[in-house]
Structure formats: C-alpha cells, structure tokens
Amino acid sequence: DTEVTQTPKHLVMGMTNKKSLKCEQHMGHRAMYWYKQKAKKPPELMFVYSYEKLSINESVPSRFSPECPNSSLLNLHLHALQPEDSALYLCASSQGNMGHYEQYFGPGTRLTVT
C-alpha cells in the first residue's frame, strides 16, 4: 500500500471556525509533512514530523497547529484562518532515516476560507 489518504477532500470554513485536516499512511514511514500549495505555485513546506516529533516548523502562523498522534496519523488543526489561507493542503510521508527525497503525497484538501 503506497497510498497517503487525506480527509476531507474539500473544506469551506469561516474565519471564526475551528476545523482539522487529517492524513494517514500505512507504509511504515516515520517522516510526515504538511505542505501548502496555492494555484499555479509549487508546494511550500509548513511542518515536518520525524518519528512523531516536530522537527521543522517553517515559521507558520499559530493559527495552524500540527499534531502527530502516532506514526501513521498526522493532523492539522485550523483556527481563525484568513481568506489568504485558502489553498490546497498536501500531506506527504517518507522513510525516516533516508529516502526523504522520495515523498509520497496525498491528494490534498482544498480549503476555502470565507
């Protein structure tokens, strides 16, 4: 199974809402990532978890809060977002010790903030 799943596929939320994005993989990967992708732009790294510990936080605003409950799951909690946060949010995973360049991406959650 080389699949990364993400839920929901689409999400519309108001600026005062709280919502969560979920990501799951069963490849035994120990590194998991959140990326943000705007239209016609490349993915931008937000967070990296390595062995369930946050190892990279790319100066992301605190209205985005990641969580890694276990090695297969990754969540992104959203609160008080702005319209400019509307984007495709991609989850990815890779082997922990090596092969980080071989990242498996999920289909993404398309987020619209109204």
Q: Which residues here bind another protein, judged by CB under 8 A?
A: 4, 31, 33, 40-43, 45, 48, 50, 55-56, 90, 92, 94, 98, 100-108, 110
**Residue 96 to residue 109: CA distance in whole angstroms:** 24
| Cβ at position 106, least distance to another protein in Å | 5
| Cβ at position 101, least distance to another protein in Å | 5
Closer of 109 and 113 to another protein (Cβ): 109
Phi–psi pair at 112, nearest 5 degrees: -120, 125
Stated as kind and residue range, the H or E segment containing 113 is strand 109-113
Closer of 67 and 96 to another protein (Cβ): 96
| Cβ at position 33, least distance to another protein in Å | 7
Closer of 17 and 95 to another protein (Cβ): 95
**Residue 11 to residue 5: CA distance in whole angstroms:** 15
| Cβ at position 14, least distance to another protein in Å | 24
Closer of 14 and 51 to another protein (Cβ): 51
Residue type at 30 in one-letter notation: R
3-state secondary structure of 51: coil
Apex 104 CA angle, 103 and 106, nearest 5: 135
